[in-house]
Amino acid sequence: MNLETVKYDKKGAVALISLNRPEVRNAFNARMTEDILEALITAKKDKDVRSIVLTGEGLSFSAGADLSSRDNKWSDTEVALNEGYLPSLKEIITMPKPVISAVNGAAAGIGSAYAMACDLTIMSEDAYILQAFSNIGLIPDGGANWFLTNTVGYKLAYQIAIEGERINAKRCLDLGLINKIVSNEELLHEALSWAERLSLRSSQSLNLTKQIMRKSLDSSYEDIYGLEAKTQNTLTGSEDNIEGVTAFMEKRQPNFK
């Protein structure tokens, strides 16, 4: 990989992807959208990687789009969103491995969309989510309207979007936007430890649960029930299923492949 704006490290079975433009608080330019996509695809294809952590170098997760960037190769904003950001956001959402966002400092604008797109989120105590679009006459993008509305409901989502206030870590936890809060010093260690623990679990279970839960956001109860039944039938008697049951009976930790 030839990454200029993103760092990629393997920590055992965990891929650590770090947004790496700390001099501009990891604001996104065109190259960063390409680099994060390449890093995500690399992690997906690596059979030794079983979980992923996404974080930011320096003081922020991401300050959003870099409005001063001179590497803009897109003709307009719609092209930028559809051809620049969407491929990597979809890669996170459809990734067959769990993706944890470790949010340090600000997750603003499109940066907040990347944080919310992840399956799980851990925040440092001084971190926050910010939708400041109404301050400059724009709307939340990167799917932020969808993420917020599906998580906190319409009224709160609309308030967060139009008031442009910082939603601090405690408030994010109360609203269900994140899973955990830790100290600034413990953020990366706890995120990697969490990812490592998940990597020991059945990959087929994590993958298919993610697929079905994502689909449930715009499906009926009956559709999801039927999908669960069909999926469960294919998993019953699988290698992971047999190993899990055997480990339970033998009172030991399962060794999933």
Question: pLDDT > 90: what percent of the chain?
Answer: 94
What is the band of 1 on the pLDDT scale with cuts at 50, 70, 90? confident
Question: pLDDT > 70: what percent of the chain?
Answer: 98
Burial 5-25 (b: 16+ CB within 10 A, else e): bbebeebebbbbbbbbbeebb
pLDDT tens digits for 41-78? 999 999 999 999 999 999 999 999 998 876 667 778 89
How many residues comprise the chain?
257
Its pTM stands at: 0.95
Q: Is 189's pLDDT higher than 80? A: yes
The residue segments making up the domain with residue 172 are 6-199
Q: Within a domain: residue 208?
A: yes
CATH code, domain carrying 30: 3.90.226.10
Q: Within a domain: residue 195?
A: yes
Asked if residue 241 and residue 129 are part of one domain, the reply reads no
Tally of structural domains, the chain: 2
AA letter at 200: L
Ordered alpha helix ranges (H), the chain? 30-45, 77-79, 86-94, 110-117, 144-152, 154-163, 169-175, 187-199, 203-216, 221-235, 239-249
Asked if residue 29 and residue 126 are part of one domain, the reply reads yes
